[in-house]
Structure formats: structure tokens, C-alpha cells
């Protein structure tokens, strides 16, 4: 009888290879590669922590409940990925691959679940504030969009901007906000200029009444995101950039619950002089990478 100190159990060393090798010859090679790697890493995870049946079943239940909670307004599976940094990581991976490393385009950040494809186009220097909150600080946001390789200003770039109101809710979450409140779609002029009036953003919690919220609680973490404004910029000629810009002074800037903050995306809201429409100014230039062809 073995009386040595208990060592880590040894599991069937061929099991994972057998599962991966069950993939048939007619599988798409990329599918076979991705799923094969996922199987390897999930099995390694289970062995590394000696995952029990009960623990695994708790995970299955969380995932099933995330799906049951998801609908057109809410994607809980995505949110579960977001709070473990997975969306930020695949965003970084995708954009490194798209753009290459020869020059610096504006950094990307995750899309998040609140983008609307149907925001109407607006003329330059319009306000996107349709429902003004009492504590809103109006900001004149503007900048020049440039080609990342040549620094030349680019005309005709479409810029989608969206943000939540000072109560932390996006318009589709809040019956008291007008439709398309705090959303606008602009086009750069011949000088590459875009400009609009928006609110100074505020921090807000991601929805924390589902499995993602439970996970945050289990990990002793808060659900808050630092104050940010969402941007998508692009055109037929330029790779669309999806990003977020973050207020330097915002709480949670150093511990975003979904890990989207990058140093290059931190911006300054400054007092503005001589503009009766706004109390703050935000200057933000954007550098876009040209599409390969």
C-alpha cells in the first residue's frame, strides 16, 4: 500500500487526443483547429484544478441560465465573456491581425451590447442630446480623422457615436429618454473634421442581476465601467474602427469590470471658453488604417 503523501492523480493520458482526433476528415480546417484547441485547453483546465462533477455542473447551469436570460435587448453570454476579459482579448487579436504593425492606428475597444445599427445620419456640429438630464454637462467633442500611414485628413468617414445618460442607462434601457437620445452618425468634411455636442459620460454598472453579476460577486469584484463614449469610424476605404474613449478623471478607470481601457484611449474634458452651447471641450483625433485593397 502506498503510504507516501497524496500526489496529484494521474488521468488517462490519451483521453484528450482521442476526443480531438474524433474530428472527421470533412471538417472545415479552421473549425477543426479552433474546436481542437478549445478542447485541449478546457481539458487542461479541468485537470489543472481537478474539476469535480458538481463544480462542472454549476458551470453548465450558469451557462444555461445565461442563454435563457438573453434576448434582443440583452446578451448575457457576451457579458459573461466580457467580465472575464474575453471580448477585450479577441478584440485585440482581431485588430492586430487586420491592421498589422507598420504604423499606429487608433486603438480599438469592445463594441459592447448597446450599439444600434439604425442611428440616423446628422449634420456636423449637431447635438446628440435629445433628452437633457438635470446634471448633464454639455461637451463640444470634435477632432480630425487622419490616414494612419500618411497622416492626411480623410473626407467622408462615417462616425457613429453613442453614450449613456447620467443615470447610467442607454436610451433603449430607459423609457424616459427619447429614441436615439445620445446617439449620432456624422460624416467627416473635406478637412477630415467631425464635431458634435454630447454629455460628459459617467460610470455605470453592467447589468448584474444574472450569471455575470453572480460571477462578479463570487470573485469579490464590482460591476462598474469607467465613464466612456463609444465610437465606430470607417468607410469603404478604411478598416472600421470600433473603440471607446475614457474620461481620465473617472472612477474605475484602473479597474473596468470588462477590461476595455487602454492608455491611448484616455482623454481629457477641458473647460471651454466662448462657446455658449457647451461648458466642456473634448478634442479627439482618430487615425484609421486603409483597407488592404
220 touches a second copy (CB under 8 A) = yes
Exactly one of 73, 93, 167, 251 binds a second copy (CB under 8 A); that residue is: 93
Residues that bind a second copy (rule: CB under 8 A) add up to a total of 80
115 touches a second copy (CB under 8 A) = no
266 touches a second copy (CB under 8 A) = no
Nearest to a second copy of 57, 132 (CB atom): 57
250 touches a second copy (CB under 8 A) = no
Exactly one of 73, 89, 126, 275 binds a second copy (CB under 8 A); that residue is: 89
291 touches a second copy (CB under 8 A) = no
90 touches a second copy (CB under 8 A) = yes
Exactly one of 5, 13, 14, 25 binds a second copy (CB under 8 A); that residue is: 25
H/E run at residue 212: helix 211-218
Stretch that binds a second copy, among 39-47, 136-144, 190-198, 225-233 (CB under 8 A): 39-47
123 touches a second copy (CB under 8 A) = no
Q: CB of 79: closest distance to a second copy in angstroms?
A: 10
Exactly one of 13, 29, 102, 123 binds a second copy (CB under 8 A); that residue is: 102
Amino acid at each position: 500500500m502506498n503510504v507516501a503523501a497524496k500526489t496529484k492523480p494521474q488521468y488517462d493520458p490519451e483521453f484528450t487526443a482521442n476526443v480531438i482526433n474524433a474530428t472527421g476528415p470533412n471538417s472545415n480546417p479552421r473549425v477543426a483547429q479552433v474546436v481542437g484547441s478549445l478542447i485541449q485547453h478546457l481539458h487542461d483546465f479541468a485537470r489543472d484544478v481537478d474539476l469535480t462533477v458538481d463544480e462542472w455542473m454549476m458551470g453548465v447551469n450558469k451557462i444555461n441560465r445565461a442563454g435563457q436570460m438573453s434576448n434582443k435587448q440583452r446578451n448575457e453570454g457576451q457579458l459573461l465573456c466580457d467580465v472575464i476579459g474575453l471580448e477585450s482579448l479577441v478584440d485585440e487579436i482581431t485588430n492586430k491581425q487586420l491592421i498589422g504593425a507598420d504604423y499606429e492606428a487608433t486603438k480599438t475597444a469592445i463594441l459592447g451590447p448597446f450599439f444600434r445599427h439604425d442611428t440616423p445620419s446628422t449634420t456636423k456640429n449637431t447635438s446628440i442630446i435629445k433628452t437633457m438630464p438635470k446634471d448633464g454637462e454639455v461637451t463640444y467633442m470634435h477632432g480630425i480623422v487622419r490616414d494612419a500611414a500618411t497622416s492626411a485628413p480623410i473626407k467622408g468617414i462615417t462616425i457613429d457615436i453613442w453614450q449613456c445618460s447620467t443615470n447610467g442607462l442607454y436610451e433603449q434601457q430607459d423609457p424616459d429618454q427619447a429614441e436615439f437620445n445620445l446617439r449620432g452618425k456624422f460624416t467627416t468634411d473635406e478637412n477630415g473634421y467631425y464635431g458634435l455636442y454630447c454629455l460628459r459620460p459617467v460610470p455605470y454598472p453592467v447589468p448584474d442581476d444574472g450569471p455575470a453579476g453572480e460571477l462578479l460577486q463570487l470573485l469579490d469584484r464590482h460591476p462598474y465601467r469607467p465613464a466612456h463614449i463609444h465610437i465606430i469610424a470607417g468607410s469603404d476605404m478604411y478598416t472600421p474602427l470600433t473603440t471607446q474613449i475614457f474620461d481620465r478623471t473617472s472612477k474605475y478607470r484602473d479597474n473596468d469590470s470588462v477590461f476595455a481601457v487602454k492608455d491611448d484611449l484616455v482623454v481629457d474634458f477641458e473647460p471651454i471658453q466662448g462657446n455658449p452651447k457647451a461648458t466642456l471641450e473634448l478634442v479627439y483625433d482618430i487615425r484609421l488604417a486603409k483597407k488592404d485593397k
